Structures are given as C-alpha cells and as structure tokens.
C-alpha cells in the first residue's frame, strides 16, 4: 500500500542526521583535496593513489598542483556531498518515494559507462568538464536514491507528523 | 497472520559471514594492481558483497548506518590484509606485487600526456622505483586503507542496504 509509513515517509530524524554527517564528511574530504592541491603535498597525493589514477591532464588544477583525484571522481564526491546537503537543508519533513530515482540513477551510471567506454575504444574524446558533470550527476543521484529508499523506524512524534501530512487513500 | 517478528535482534546475527565474503572480495581485488585503474570500484564491490551476504544470510532488512558499517569493516579487513601481504612480500623478497604493471600503466599515461605533466609523471615513477619500505610508507598505507575503505565501503554498503530488503528490520 502506498500510504504505508515504511514506503511513504522516509526523511526521519535518523536520516537527516545521516545527511548531516554525510555533508560534513564530504566537505572535509573536498577541503582536504583542495588543501593538498594548493600546497602540492606529495603525501596527500599518495594517500589518494589507491582511489584514483590521478592522471594530471584529467584532474582540475588548483594552486600549486592538480587535485589528487580525477575530474570524474571529484564530481562524484562533490555530487554526493551536494546530495547530502540537499537532503539536510530541504524543509519538507516527508518525502514520497519516487520510482524515477532508480531510473535516474541507472541513466547516470549508464551515461558514465558509455562516456568511459566510447573514449576507451576511441569513438570520441571527452572533456574534463563533461567527465566532472557526469560524475556529479552520478554522485548526487546515488545519494538521493539511497536516502529516499532507506526504511527507518519513526518515533511517535514523526509518525503523528506523517499521518497529518499524508492524504487519506482508499 | 505471519509468525515473522517485526524486528530482529542484531545480536542474534553475527557479522562474520558478511565480513568474510566482502573481505575476501576486497582482498583479492586490492592485492592486484587493477585497483589503481578502477578508482574505488573494487572496494565498493567488496562492501556491496559484504552487506548483501549479511542480508541474504539472515533474511533481514538493515538500517542504512548498519549496512554501511558492515561494508566498511569488510573493506578495512580485506584491504588491510592485502596491504600486510604486499608489505611482507616486499620486505621478504624485495618484490612489490603488481608494481611493474602499475609502472607500465603510469609510463603509458606519461607518454600520452603533454610535456610538462608527462615529465612530472616520469619523475614520480622514478621516485616510486627508488622508494624503500619505512615507517613513513607504513603510516601512509594505514591512512590510505582507512580512507579508501571508508569511501568505497560506504558507497557499496549503502547501495546494498537499499537494494536488498528481506524480511523484518534488524536492530
């Protein structure tokens, strides 16, 4: 049933807290990436060496050197942080599950895969900004998909708020 | 009416099966050099397998934070173990697993890069070749394991948690 609390109202306090943590950790990660690039810290670049190929012409340049991750990875991290921030800052207490989120995530993942594959096989040459944009869309849709599909037990106050907001059905 | 309880006690569901499955995947994928080319995908896959194994083993629905926790722990175990094996082989036989593949991959990138960045890459390859195992390398590896497992495990665990929901909520 669509009016069921587990399916319909999902942005509970626990999820909002998770979104806050996600925003904070993501911001720290992005700040660390900028600091490492600005100061050209070799130690920082080797920290991220297992997470990304770090090919310099595929990375954004900031200050003394390029970022420690490529533009696509940077886009993904930025999108994930942005997705958490959107979930945290929006004022709606109740979200309706939207099956389109899964489709959007699938399209974003497929777009990244095709972009990577077409370039790998030499069909076309992508640009740093297209990679970053596709990564951003993937990261943001991933976070929103995960947050909107998470089932959380609501406390009494939240249940009351939901029952007041949800329209009566059938 | 179903006999299934509304909430399953998490104390009755040890993490071990999930950690073993996810850790094994993370171990195998990070021991070989493909992990450099695939970004955090190997660890995300390890985390995904860990949480999926847990959900299917106990037929439960997990909270997001718990699903992510299992995945991150599995990645820490798997990636940590592969790093220890890598270091032991390096110290014992002066051989770095997958290093030549990694160097040839980097050299290929340097050849195709424009002169200033290509030269910088070649310099860093030389530095990598001359690198010896020491306390600095070990500390850097610890930070890398924590960082990479945190990011990859969180992504894989979160996805598995929301994609697979079996039975009652585990708390």
The answer to the question of residue B101 being in a domain is no
Q: Chain A residues with CB inside 8 Å of B161's CB?
A: 146, 150
| Distance of residue B33 Cα from the nearest chain A Cα, in angstroms | 9
Q: Chain B residues with CB inside 8 Å of A153's CB?
A: 169, 171
**Is A51 touching B (CB cutoff 8 A)?**
yes
Q: How far is CA A89 from CA A17, A93, A159, B64, B148, in A?
A: 11, 11, 21, 20, 28
**Six-digit token string for A107:** 């399209």
Inspect the interface and report whether the beta carbons of B64 and A146 lie closer than 8 Å: yes
Mean pLDDT of chain A: 79
What's residue A109's pLDDT? 92
Closest residue on chain B to A59 (Cα): B117
Distance CA A12, CA A92 (A): 11
The answer to the question of residue B34 being in a domain is yes
Distance CA A108, CA A113 (A): 9
What's residue B25's pLDDT? 93
Q: What's the pTM?
A: 0.81
Order of strands, sheet of B7-8, starting from the edge strand that comes earlier in the sequence = B7-8, B168-170, B60-61
What's residue A151's pLDDT? 57
The answer to the question of residue B128 being in a domain is no
Least confident residue range of A6-10, A14-18, A59-63, B37-41 = A6-10
Residue A28 three-state SS: helix
**Six-digit token string for A131:** 């990679």
Query: Each residue's pLDDT tens digit in chain B (171 positions)?
Result: 445 556 777 777 888 888 999 999 999 988 876 666 677 888 999 999 999 999 998 888 888 888 999 999 999 999 999 999 988 988 888 888 877 877 777 777 666 666 666 676 677 777 777 777 788 888 888 998 999 999 999 999 999 998 888 777 777
The answer to the question of residue B47 being in a domain is yes
Residue B127 three-state SS: helix
Inspect the interface and report whether the beta carbons of A14 and B63 lie closer than 8 Å: yes
What's residue A121's pLDDT? 81
Please, what's the b/e burial string for A127-159 (b: 16 or more CB within 10 A of its CB; e: otherwise)? ebebbbbbbbbbbbbbbbbbbbbbbbebeeebe
**Sequence ranges of the domains in chain A:** 8-153
Tell which of B10, B33, B36, B46 to mutate to test the A interface (max A CBs under 10 Å). B36
Inspect the interface and report whether the beta carbons of A51 and B171 lie closer than 8 Å: no
What's residue A102's pLDDT? 85
Distance CA B29, CA A55 (A): 21
The answer to the question of residue B19 being in a domain is yes
Instruction: For this complex, say whether ipTM is above 0.85.
Output: no
Least confident residue range of A127-136, A152-161, B91-100 = A152-161
Candidates B145, B160, B104; CA nearest to B128 is B104
Q: Chain B residues with CB inside 8 Å of A13's CB?
A: none
Whether A30 shows a pLDDT value over 60: the answer reads yes
pLDDT classification of A163: cutoffs 50, 70, 90: low
Inspect the interface and report whether the beta carbons of A43 and B159 lie closer than 8 Å: no
Whether A166 shows a pLDDT value over 70: the answer reads no
**Is A124 touching B (CB cutoff 8 A)?**
no
Inspect the interface and report whether the beta carbons of A53 and B155 lie closer than 8 Å: no
Distance CA B47, CA B68 (A): 8
The answer to the question of residue B41 being in a domain is yes
Least confident residue range of A1-15, A20-34, A36-50, B134-148 = A1-15
The answer to the question of residue B98 being in a domain is no
Least confident residue range of A90-104, A117-131, B36-50, B63-77 = A90-104
Distance CA A119, CA A137 (A): 19
What's residue A170's pLDDT? 35
Whether A156 shows a pLDDT value over 90: the answer reads no
What's residue A93's pLDDT? 60
| Distance of residue B11 Cα from the nearest chain A Cα, in angstroms | 18
**pLDDT by residue (tens digit) across A137-155?**
999 999 988 887 775 555 5
Containing structural domain, residue B65: 7-91+138-166
**Is A73 touching B (CB cutoff 8 A)?**
yes
Candidates B105, B102, B120, B147; CA nearest to A59 is B120
The answer to the question of residue B157 being in a domain is yes
**Count of structural domains within chain B:** 1
Least confident residue range of A94-103, A112-121, B2-11, B22-31 = B2-11
Secondary structure element (H or E) that encloses residue A62, with its range: strand A61-62
């Amino acid at each position: 049933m669509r009016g069921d609390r587990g399916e319909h109202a999902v942005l509970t306090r626990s999820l909002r807290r998770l979104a806050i943590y996600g925003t904070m950790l993501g911001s720290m990660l992005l700040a660390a990436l900028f600091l490492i690039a600005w100061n050209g810290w070799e130690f920082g670049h080797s920290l991220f060496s297992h997470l990304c190929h770090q090919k310099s012409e595929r990375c954004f340049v900031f200050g003394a050197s390029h970022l420690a991750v490529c533009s696509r990875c940077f886009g993904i991290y930025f999108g994930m942080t942005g997705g958490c921030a959107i979930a945290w800052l929006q004022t709606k207490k109740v979200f309706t599950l939207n099956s389109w989120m899964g489709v959007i995530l699938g399209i974003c993942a497929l777009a990244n895969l095709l972009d990577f594959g077409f370039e790998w096989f030499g069909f076309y040459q992508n640009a740093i900004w297209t990679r970053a944009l596709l990564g951003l869309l993937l990261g943001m849709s991933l976070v929103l998909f995960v947050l909107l599909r998470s089932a959380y037990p609501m406390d009494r106050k939240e249940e009351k708020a939901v029952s007041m907001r949800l329209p009566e059905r059938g | 009416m179903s006999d299934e309880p509304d909430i399953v006690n998490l104390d009755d569901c040890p993490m071990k099966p999930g950690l073993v499955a996810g850790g094994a995947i993370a171990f195998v994928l990070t021991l070989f050099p493909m992990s450099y080319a695939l970004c955090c995908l190997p660890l995300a896959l390890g985390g995904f397998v860990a949480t999926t194994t847990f959900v299917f083993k106990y037929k439960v629905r997990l909270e997001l934070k718990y699903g992510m926790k299992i995945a991150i722990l599995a990645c820490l175990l798997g990636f940590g173990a592969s790093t220890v094996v890598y270091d032991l082989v390096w110290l014992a036989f002066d051989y770095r697993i997958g290093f030549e593949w990694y160097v040839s991959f980097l050299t290929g990138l340097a050849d195709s890069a424009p002169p200033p960045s290509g030269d910088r890459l070649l310099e860093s390859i030389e530095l990598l070749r001359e690198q010896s195992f020491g306390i600095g390398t070990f500390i850097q590896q610890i930070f890398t394991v924590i960082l990479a497992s945190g990011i990859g495990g969180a992504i894989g665990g979160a996805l598995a948690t929301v994609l697979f929901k079996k039975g009652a909520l585990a708390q």
